[in-house]
Amino acid sequence: MSLVLTNGARQFDYWAKVYQRTWKGSLVSSFLVPLLYLAAMGVGLGTFVDDSGTNALGGVSYLQFIAPGLLAVTGLQIAVAESTYPVMGGLKWHKTYFSMIATPLRAADVMYGQLGFIAFRVVSSCAVFLIVMALLGGLGSPLGLFGLPIALLVGMAVAAPVCAIATRLKTDAGFAMIFRFGLLPMSLFSGAFFPVQQLPDAVEWLAYAAPLWHAVEVTRDLSLGTFALLPALGSLAYLTLWFAVGTRFAVTGLEKRLIS
């Protein structure tokens, strides 16, 4: 454990300098777009939804229904974006991973450092989103503040397996498949915008299998004050399993690419 912490600290200066030089380029995609989306969907469209009745939403406003889900979606989208092209860049284009293992760092340390930076990106962006969500009235309960670590967990639960895929791809063409057939459907049909019970029975089970649905449910229950411990523990265990298995495959994938 001490070796992992020491080697992780050695990478901190690198990732800090990377973000210091690139943070301005992430303002729109990581901060502005999710916030405008929340305002447009929760406040703009939400006005029409509320006028039509909120019985299908459990009697809460559309803003309070959608905001926790969008918090989880934001964590997911940022994590996927940081797990695709940056990982392939470290292997194929600017080859920083090869420079890293020329030091005492192991391939596992390099991947842990990459995942740590992804976690930082998810937390920093979702923290701003959570503040604006509270200011707009989308936070129904103080427990909703715990939605931030849930957004982090779902982000890492998906980031790890996507990193594993990225270490095994030879070109970036495969990322289009991840975005079109993984990220987009999961964002739209995991309960963030409407209850998944409204989906056809034949595809409803796919929503339950997706990690995002579990995060959306927990963040929404926290925000609305309807939190139930046992279902939440099951969802958190499921997300943790995704992260643990994904991290293992990400490490082995990176080891094969760097050592072979």
How far is it, in rounded angstroms, from Cα 143 to Cα 149?
12
pLDDT for res 156: 97
pLDDT value of residue 59? 72
Query: Which pLDDT score, from 0 to 100, does residue 161 have?
Result: 97
Distance separating alpha carbons of residues 155 and 225, to the nearest angstrom: 23
pLDDT of res. 54: 63
Segment-wise mean pLDDT, segments of 10 residues, the chain, 260 residues: 63 78 72 77 72 68 89 94 94 90 89 92 92 87 94 97 96 93 91 87 88 96 91 96 97 90
Q: How many CB atoms lie within 10 A of CB 195?
A: 12
- pLDDT value of position 55: 67
Would you state the pLDDT for residue 18? 81
Q: Which residues lie below 8 Å from residue 33, measured CB to CB, with a gap of 6+? A: none
Query: CA 110, CA 102: separation in Å to the nearest integer?
Result: 11
In contact, 99 and 93? CB cutoff 8 Å: no
User: pLDDT at position 5, please?
Assistant: 59
Asked if 156 contacts 74 with a C-beta cutoff of 8 angstroms, the reply is no
Within a 10 A sphere around the Cβ of 78, how many other Cβ atoms? 26
Question: How far apart are alpha carbons 136 and 67 in whole angstroms?
Answer: 10
DSSP assignment string, 19-87: HHHHGGGGIIIIIIHHHHHHIIIIIIIHHHHHHT--GGGTTS-HHHHHHHHHHHHHHHHHHHHHHSHHH
pTM value is 0.90
CA 181 from centroid of its chain's CA atoms: 16
Question: In the prediction, which pLDDT does 53 show?
Answer: 64
- Residue type at 224 in one-letter notation: L
Contact present, 68 and 147 (Cβ < 8 Å): yes
Please give the pLDDT value at position 83.
96
Residue 137 is predicted with a pLDDT of: 85
pLDDT of residue 3: 58
Short-list 258, 154, 138, CA closest to 215: 154
- Give the pLDDT confidence score for residue 43 in this predicted structure: 74
Q: Provide the pLDDT for residue 178.
A: 94
138 Cβ partners below 8 Å, 6+ apart? 38, 42, 63, 64, 66, 67, 68, 223
- Residue 41 confidence (pLDDT): 77
Q: What is the pLDDT of residue 86?
A: 92
